[in-house]
Structure 1
Amino acid sequence: LTNFILITAGKNADENGFGLLELQSDNFTWVLSRLVIDMKRMPTENDSLTIETWIEKIGTAFTTRNFRIFDGKGFLIGHAASSWAVMDMHTRRSVLLDTLPAMHQFIVPESTPIGEPGRIPSVSGEVANSFRVKYSDIDVNNHANSLHYVEWLSDCFTPDFYQTHHIRRFEINFLKELTFGDSGEVYRQLNGQVDYAFHIETHGKGTVCRARIVFEAV
């Protein structure tokens, strides 16, 4: 589902003239900073999905992009909200969004019921997974693709757990880049009966990501 959401964001940006290829011609690129997904129900195998997306607002360094998720029968089953920055490929630092003045004409000042993706507080927790960034984890921005963070978090639970629990809400904050060879651990902390907080800690870069997953029993 996260992949479908990110593909939808990229396709919309491409269609409106500020997609990845357009930015890369000026040595810039889009990077995902925060994401929250809140589902009334999770899609199942072979479900058809329709995802709508729009830019709610553009700040100095970050833009907020929202999503509505519908099933194959047209029922609204979830929302998502995301925060994006433009990064200079040479300096690896974010740049001001006034570099994309044409983007402002596509603003639709409509929020979602789940609000904007917020800051996730730090947690302690215990090690629930470990990882090392491999070549196949690297994307066109020369860092670990955001979907692999989701995989490392998801792998903190067993198949038996997923047989009895579905994800209702997922939140993630990306703090630092991960590059080839980086390794570390995923720390998990239970904050409620089905409410888990995480942070991804590396050997050398410190905390690179924070996340939260809220489940519901099925």
Structure 2
Amino acid sequence: MAEKSLYNYRVEPQEVDFTLRATIPSLGAAILNTAGIDAHGKGFGVDALNADNHSWVLSRMAIEFDFQPVQYTDYTVATWISDYGRVLSTRNFTLTDVSGREFGRAVSQWAMIDLRTRSAVDLSWVGDAHADAIVDAPSPTERPRKIREVNPTQRSEHRVVYSDIDFNRHVNTMRYIEMMLDMLPLELLTSGDPVRLDIHFLKECRYGQTLAVGCELRERSALFEIAGDGGPAAVRASVEWK
């Protein structure tokens, strides 16, 4: 049975806001970069899958931060895969500063798609071929919650451009999160309070589409729904400050 893998990071100046604390998207990017680096090192990264016209796509994710570390803080991201199913694989993370204090955790669920048909494929073979990559440890927090209904109280539009697109040629996860957070009051975003974000991807959004971003703002939380070109919801998410 495998052990958790550890990767070291530092909060760089371009990753903080005017409070000099790391932003949620910058920490989220470190989490997703860790997933890619670890999969690549174990032989089932995007580069290996692309040879068969397959790729990983994020289906759902939950991230929690007890606090957002300040500029130049060194921290470690631990990651491990706890299970492979036929449709989804679960990859987990914890974030710990140099004093050993855990300040963040995440649970992500991944699907594999055929790049030609853009449809999900059975990933059981990955679990069979790489069973030695599974770690016998539970997820560090509740798995991603589903958001079933959003009743927006405010809306914005965003046209998908080159800088929004990732290696799968659809909108990058952190760009979605930035679009949503940009609709929230500064006092929430800069409070420094513990925060949890859940995001659920229902379909892809691609280059050239016009996205409608709907926000249902509550006292200490917000629900979001993003749809492309007047179609059904492509992304739903929630953010809650404790």
TM-score of the pair, normalised by structure 2? 0.83
1:139 is aligned to 166
* Deviation of the 1:112 alpha carbon: 2.8
- Matched with 1:108 is 135
Provide the rounded CA distance (Å) in 1 between the counterparts of 2:171 and 2:190. Answer: 29
Name which of structure 1's ranges 84-93 and 70-79 shifts more when overlaid on structure 2.
Answer: 70-79
For residue 199 of structure 1, what is the aligned residue in structure 2? 225
Matched letter for residue 39 of structure 2:
A
Of the structure 1 ranges 16-25 and 38-47, higher mean CA displacement relative to structure 2 is found in 38-47
Counterparts of 2:122 and 2:183, CA distance in 1: 36
**1:61-210 alignment to 2 at 5 Å?**
61-100=87-126, 101-164=128-191, 166=193, 168-191=195-218, 193-210=219-236
Q: Would the aligned equivalents of 1:129 and 1:155 in 2 still touch at CA under 8 Å?
A: no
In structure 1, distance between residues paired with 2:157 and 2:130: 39
C-alpha contact (below 8 Å) 1:167/1:213 kept by paired residues: no
- CA shift digits 1:44-78 (9 cap, x unpaired): 22221200000011111100000011012221112
Distance (Å, rounded) in 1 between the aligned partners of 2:194 and 2:152: 20
Matched residue SS, 1:4:
helix
Percentage of identical aligned residues: 35
The residue number in structure 2 matching 1:38 is 64
Q: In the superposition, relative to structure 1, how do residues 34 and 177 fare at CA in structure 2: closer, same or farther (>3 Å)?
A: same
8 A Cα contact 1:165 1:215, kept in partner:
no
* 1:12 alignment counterpart: 38
Contact 2:154/2:216 (CA < 8 Å) preserved in 1?
Answer: no
Distance in 1 between residues matched to 2:148 and 2:59, nearest whole Å = 15
Query: Shift of the alpha carbon at 1:194?
Result: 0.4
The Cα shift of 1:145 comes to 1.2
Instruction: State which of 56, 65, 83 in structure 2 corresponds to 1:57.
Output: 83
CA contact (8 A) 1:82 1:117 kept: yes
Aligned-partner residue type, residue 78 of structure 2: E
Cα pair 1:64 1:116 within 8 Å, conserved: no
1:3 is the counterpart of 2:26: no
Q: Which deviations, in whole Å up to 9, do the C-alpha atoms of 1:108-142 show, x marking residues without a partner?
A: 13223422213222211223432110012112211
Secondary structure of the structure 1 residue equivalent to 2:197: strand
* Native 8 Å contact 1:34 1:83 kept in 2: yes
Indicate the SS of the match to 2:130.
helix
- Determine if contact 1:195/1:213 at 8 Å carries over to the other structure: yes
Q: Which has the higher strand share?
A: 1
Number of residue pairs matched by the alignment: 215
